[in-house]
Amino acid sequence: MSSTATGIGAPVRRKEDFRFITGHGQYTDDVVRPGETKAVFVRSPHAHAKIKNIDVSAAKKMPGVVDILTGAQLATDKIGNLICGWMIHSKDGTPMKMSAHPALAASKVNCVGDAVAVVIAETTAQGKDAAEKVIVDYEVLKAVIDPAKAQAKDAPQIHADIPNNTIYQWHLGDAKAVAAAFAAAKHVTKIDLVNNRLSPNAMEPRAALAEYDEGTDNLTLWNTSQNPHVARLVIAAFVGMAPEHKLRVIAPDVGGGFGSKIFIYPEEVVCLWAARKVKRPVKWTSDRSEAFLTDAHGRDHVTHAELALDANGKILALRAKTIANLGAYMSTFSSSVPTYLYATLLSGQYNIPSIYCEVDAVYTNTAPVDAYRGAGRPEATFVIERLVEVSARQLGLDPVDLRRRNFITAFPHQTPVIMAYDAGDYNASLKKALEIADVKGFGKRKREAARHGKLRGIGYSTYIEACGIAPSQAVGSLGAGVGLWESAEVRVNPTGSVEVLTGCHAHGQGHETTFAQLVSERLGIPFENVSIVHGDTDKVQFGMGTYGSRSGAVGMSAIVKALDKIEAKAKKVAAYVLEAAEGDIEFKDGKFTVAGTDKSAAWGDVALNAYIAHKFVGADLEPGLKETSFYDPTNFTFPAGCHICEVEVDIETGKTEIVNWTAVDDFGTIINPMIVEGQVHGGIAQGVGQAMMEGVVYSAEGQLVSGSFMDYTMPRAHDLPSFHVGLTETKSPSNPLGIKGCGEAGAIASPAAVINAITDAIGSEDLAMPATANAVWSALQRATPRQAA
Amino acid sequence: MAMTMTGEVQLPASREVVYAKLNDAEVLKACIPGCEELIKSSDTEMSAVAVTKIGPVKARFKGKVHLTDLDPPNGYRISGEGDGGVAGFAKGGATVALTEKDGGTLLTYNVEAQIGGKLAQLGQRLVNGAAKKVADDFFKNFQAHIAAG
């Protein structure tokens, strides 16, 4: 479909990879400013304690110490709290209860890792030595870690002004209709699930470098952000660090985010504040131990869910009650994840007449929890796809058949939980996946495995997600504090090369390649002649960053709109160059022609003429060729598909091997199939990690005991098979390119597919994530108690 | 992270002698592995500095030691909490019981301990082994001290 070898649909190799894999990336820690100092944070070893006193006198005398700052000084300087930017209202209409979140705790710590002071030193080693000498006198309080216990009457109270540690008690849907449907149902399936807490573990740890210019009173922050403009807005408007026009935020190369770098964290606020105080640049780079402790974690839901069906396996209603653990403080978008990014997707790919979901969000003495790859949608998919699979087993139906009976087949489809699905073909992706996975041959493979002492199981996940985040008015009505449009500025240089300034931010997605492909296709110019500029608030006017699989659907749509304007202006210039009427100018494959003649002008000629302005007078046409567009989508996009996982379980040890993985996804228009496939691979790996390996563990006292890679298992290449990846396509009608987004699908689809496969193999539903060999073996023992001798 | 541990050691001295040594700050200082300082502020209160290494984390702990449930010569309870700065904290206690056996004294101990901060984050899988080694070393030293008279 591509008109050039580097246009839309071409599997172009990534432009950015050469610099990344040859060590030429420029990450925050690589930026070095003259006179730079290093920040080392003093963190609480207690999950919950009052700070009685902080003595920095001995520490201040240590070699290389520039200054030591505490939460009390932060308060004196009137540095504002960090905020959560999405308002959720409880069932009773009351607004969510957000506690104060100072960047340095002054009177009380609420989780292990809470920062209480910062040492500014000449070197990190000197800072660490001095941090050892900071004496903090704590009065240790009882901690609550388990979200299911946080609301108990005798639970420790974490924030004095927030009773029962309850942030909100939210609901969505029609409780009465659901109750009636359950009363009339022939069959009800009930499940209890824990969506395990995850550590994001981006390859590059978080970092911040702040510099204060006394001459201009300007502050500059280099940080590992997925959305530098939003960081600037929050730090200016809410934290009150500096006026927005006096604060520049630069997010250079960023090595992975997965959501964890969307948020505004205490460390970047402290570095800015400290830089102004010590009048020298201040840099902090998280070490891996700090990353485990302080990066916002993901998931952590405890859910009871029920599905009502009639005698024919038609779904009548769904209800769910979830407790969401938001940790010790509300992170930037934490409130939206277990509400509007979760309950709104509980309809899955199915025509469900009524749905009711209740969500209680609670504080616990743990690190904050916020969006992590998929953010709410993996949790929803796990609920609905486990319910459907278990229902089929309980009813003695083929899980594929039960899904088919309930698929939505007519679009647009209004679900009972806000979302209006605009396009999709769920039977098509299922059918293709069944073929690729050779489901027909599964019985034979299962018998073969049994001969080798292995239990073979197959599990499905027909997932849907809402991406292309998001129509501003819609999210505004749901409580979002910002609009979620995207901006683009296209600058055509006099020589015809093009710079695209985007408000999206790349931290592994390959925007420098895919966005350039779009421009190459549209303007018919070589891919090499296009540069993508992002991540600097002084260059890009405003943008909302990258998360929620939004950069293609929303960010590229903004580029399309700006390119439309560029073409219109270029045609005016071409009309002067070619001495023809503007209406007769045609533009194709990088060439302007006059309709019905052989007169033509190359792209470069027109670009040059736009700037030299010799062929027209300023009164008729402004010189230059630069256009800006802000694009606000009309709807979410709804990527969907079918993942099929096949496992073999060793009966004696519980060791589970994924022997086959099929993913058939409908992402709408694909810009670069190689990058899309990479996104699918990475997403599946993270979902398999959640399903089989990963899990953040706090002790009952609130100590993080999975705080290193010795104890927190990440998936490795040998844990995964070669994936069989296929595509189906229905275009999204909600954006000009028909893109749906692909960044999160793998992580959303895969946990349910894995657990459905393992539970199929072992014949028991009593299995929690992560399904480690020990967990699977234990489930096998519970399911088939050994006979007494 | 809480852990518990029990053990016993046979000592070639009377309960009275053993009990007296268990209350002697100089003896305790000599026997506690890594102990750099132990200063008695009263009969039941001491302040201590000790260096401990658990896995990758090495820390100098400053803390207080309390003796309670004093029941000469049958035993006591020794407890303490130490602050290791950025390495975290450790706190715990041991109930020590002395019984006559084979002409000497059988000392039995019952330890429970908690660690927090970086120690727990990095060293939790190693803490049982490390704590057992500290206890073993202490009683080996103590036994040698008693044997030497």
- CB contact B125 to A (< 8 Å): yes
User: Under an 8 A CB cutoff, do B121 and A710 touch?
Assistant: no
Task: Give me the residue from A43, A135, A703 closest to B120, CB to CB.
Answer: A703
Degrees, nearest 5: CA angle A228-A233-A236: 120
| pLDDT for residue A2 is more than 50 | no
User: Under an 8 A CB cutoff, do A132 and B85 touch?
Assistant: yes
Name chain A contacts of B115, Cβ cutoff 8 Å: 703
Sheet hosting strand A218-223, strand order edge to edge: A65-70, A115-121, A37-43, A282-285, A207-213, A218-223, A247-250
Average pLDDT over residues A85-109: 97
Q: Would you place residue A4 in the very low, low, confident or very high pLDDT band (cuts 50, 70, 90)? A: low
Question: Across the strands, what pairs with B113?
Answer: B3, B92
Distances (CA, A) of A367 to A114, A290, A291, A325: 8, 11, 11, 10
- Please report the pLDDT score of residue B21 as a whole number: 93
Average pLDDT over residues A382-391: 98
* Cα–Cα distance measured from residue A105 to residue A101, given in angstroms and rounded to the nearest whole number: 8
Sheet hosting strand B45-54, strand order edge to edge: B2-11, B104-116, B89-101, B75-83, B57-71, B45-54, B35-40
Name chain B contacts of A128, Cβ cutoff 8 Å: 86
User: Under an 8 A CB cutoff, do A289 and B122 touch?
Assistant: yes
In chain A, the percentage of residues whose pLDDT exceeds 70 is 99
Virtual torsion, Cα A674, A677, A683, A689, nearest 10 deg = -100
Tell me which amino acid residue B118 is: K
Which of A255, A264, A270 lies closest to A201 in space, CA to CA? A255
Chain A's closest residue to B3, CA to CA, is A699
| pLDDT for residue A244 is more than 90 | yes
Q: A58 Cβ partners below 8 Å, 6+ apart?
A: A133, A135
* Cα–Cα distance measured from residue A740 to residue A732, given in angstroms and rounded to the nearest whole number: 6
- Please report the pLDDT score of residue B90 as a whole number: 84
- CB contact B114 to A (< 8 Å): yes
- CB contact B148 to A (< 8 Å): no
* Cα–Cα distance measured from residue A540 to residue A535, given in angstroms and rounded to the nearest whole number: 7
Q: What is the pLDDT of residues A329-372, one digit of tens each?
A: 999 999 999 999 999 999 999 999 999 999 999 999 999 999 99
List the pLDDT tens digit at each of the 149 positions of chain B. Answer: 677 888 899 999 999 999 999 999 999 999 988 999 999 999 899 998 988 877 777 788 888 889 999 999 999 999 888 888 778 888 888 899 999 999 999 999 998 888 888 888 877 777 778 788 888 888 889 999 898 87
Name chain B contacts of A711, Cβ cutoff 8 Å: 124-125
- What is the CATH number for B68? 3.30.530.20
Chain B's closest residue to A293, CA to CA, is B121
Q: Where is pLDDT greater, at A565 or B52?
A: A565
Q: What is the pLDDT of residues A494-536, one digit of tens each?
A: 999 999 999 999 999 999 999 999 999 999 999 999 999 999 9
Q: A419 Cβ partners below 8 Å, 6+ apart?
A: A344, A345, A347, A466, A636, A638
User: Under an 8 A CB cutoff, do A699 and B1 touch?
Assistant: yes
Q: Are A162 and A96 contacting, i.e. CB atoms less than 8 angstroms apart?
A: no
- CB contact B82 to A (< 8 Å): no
| pLDDT for residue A66 is more than 70 | yes
* Cα–Cα distance measured from residue A288 to residue A292, given in angstroms and rounded to the nearest whole number: 6
Distances (CA, A) of B114 to A44, A117, A407, A747, B119: 16, 24, 53, 37, 10
Return the minimum-mean-pLDDT range out of A113-122, A162-171, B13-22, B51-60.
Answer: B51-60
Name chain B contacts of A51, Cβ cutoff 8 Å: none
Secondary structure letter of residue A256 according to DSSP: -
User: Under an 8 A CB cutoff, do B116 and A705 touch?
Assistant: no
Q: Which of A109, A287, A289, A703 to mutate to test the interface with B (most CBs of B within 10 A)?
A: A703
* Cα–Cα distance measured from residue A507 to residue A261, given in angstroms and rounded to the nearest whole number: 10
3-state DSSP call for residue B96?
strand
How many domains does chain B contain in total? 1
Domains of chain A: 17-23+485-631 (3.30.365.10), 434-461+636-789 (3.30.365.10)
3-state DSSP call for residue A154?
coil
| pLDDT for residue A788 is more than 50 | no
3-state DSSP call for residue A276?
helix
3-state DSSP call for residue A100?
coil
* Cα–Cα distance measured from residue A503 to residue A558, given in angstroms and rounded to the nearest whole number: 9
User: Under an 8 A CB cutoff, do B121 and A708 touch?
Assistant: yes
- CB contact B128 to A (< 8 Å): no
Query: φ and ψ at A38, to 5 degrees?
Result: -120, 140
Q: Are A669 and A8 contacting, i.e. CB atoms less than 8 angstroms apart?
A: yes
| pLDDT for residue A597 is more than 80 | yes
Name chain A contacts of B87, Cβ cutoff 8 Å: 132
A201 Cα to chain B: minimum distance (Å): 15
Q: Are A38 and A124 contacting, i.e. CB atoms less than 8 angstroms apart?
A: yes
User: Under an 8 A CB cutoff, do B122 and A704 touch?
Assistant: no
Q: Tokens 């029609």 label which residue?
A: A174
State the first-to-last Cα distance of chain B, in angstroms, to the nearest integer: 38
Average pLDDT over residues A268-293: 97
Task: Give me the residue from A45, A128, A705 closest to B124, CB to CB.
Answer: A705
User: Under an 8 A CB cutoff, do B117 and A45 touch?
Assistant: yes
State the first-to-last Cα distance of chain A, in angstroms, to the nearest integer: 69
Distances (CA, A) of A550 to A96, A227, A637: 27, 12, 9
- CB contact B86 to A (< 8 Å): yes
Distances (CA, A) of A467 to A263, A421, A724: 19, 11, 23
Q: Are B104 and B9 contacting, i.e. CB atoms less than 8 angstroms apart?
A: no
- CB contact B88 to A (< 8 Å): yes
Q: What is the mean pLDDT of chain A?
A: 96
Name chain B contacts of A708, Cβ cutoff 8 Å: 121-122
Q: Are A748 and A463 contacting, i.e. CB atoms less than 8 angstroms apart?
A: yes
- Please report the pLDDT score of residue A301 as a whole number: 98
B85 Cα to chain A: minimum distance (Å): 5
* Cα–Cα distance measured from residue A555 to residue A502, given in angstroms and rounded to the nearest whole number: 7
User: Under an 8 A CB cutoff, do B1 and A705 touch?
Assistant: yes
* Cα–Cα distance measured from residue A784 to residue A651, given in angstroms and rounded to the nearest whole number: 11
Average pLDDT over residues A43-59: 97
- CB contact B122 to A (< 8 Å): yes
User: Under an 8 A CB cutoff, do A704 and B86 touch?
Assistant: no
Virtual torsion, Cα A334, A339, A343, A348, nearest 10 deg = -40
User: Under an 8 A CB cutoff, do B89 and A46 touch?
Assistant: yes
User: Under an 8 A CB cutoff, do B121 and A703 touch?
Assistant: yes
Q: What range does the domain containing B54 cover?
A: 2-147
* Cα–Cα distance measured from residue A624 to residue A603, given in angstroms and rounded to the nearest whole number: 14
Element (H, E) at A57: helix A57-60
| pLDDT for residue A789 is more than 60 | no
- Please report the pLDDT score of residue A675 as a whole number: 97
User: Under an 8 A CB cutoff, do B89 and A45 touch?
Assistant: yes
Name chain B contacts of A133, Cβ cutoff 8 Å: 85
Number of alpha carbons in the 13 Å side-chain half-sphere of residue A487: 18
Element (H, E) at B104: strand B104-116
Return the minimum-mean-pLDDT range out of A481-490, A532-541, B82-91.
Answer: B82-91
- CB contact B63 to A (< 8 Å): no
- Please report the pLDDT score of residue A1 as a whole number: 43
Query: Would you list which residues of chain A are within 8 Å, Cβ to Cβ, of chain B?
Result: 42-47, 112, 128, 131-135, 289, 292-293, 699-701, 703-705, 707-708, 710-711
- CB contact B124 to A (< 8 Å): yes
User: Under an 8 A CB cutoff, do B125 and A711 touch?
Assistant: yes
* Cα–Cα distance measured from residue A662 to residue A436, given in angstroms and rounded to the nearest whole number: 7
Name chain B contacts of A139, Cβ cutoff 8 Å: none
Q: Which of B86, B112, B115, B125 to mutate to test the interface with A (most CBs of A within 10 A)?
A: B86
Secondary structure letter of residue A147 according to DSSP: G
Task: Give me the residue from A134, A289, A700 closest to B121, CB to CB.
Answer: A289
Q: Are A257 and A202 contacting, i.e. CB atoms less than 8 angstroms apart?
A: yes
Chain B's closest residue to A138, CA to CA, is B83
Average pLDDT over residues A5-17: 94
For helices A266-278 and A228-237, angle between their N-to-C axes, nearest 10 degrees: 60
User: Under an 8 A CB cutoff, do B120 and A705 touch?
Assistant: yes
- CB contact B116 to A (< 8 Å): yes
Q: A500 Cβ partners below 8 Å, 6+ apart?
A: A488, A489, A490, A491, A515, A516, A519, A530, A531, A532, A533, A559, A562
Average pLDDT over residues A324-332: 98
Q: Which of B1, B54, B112, B121 to mutate to test the interface with A (most CBs of A within 10 A)?
A: B121
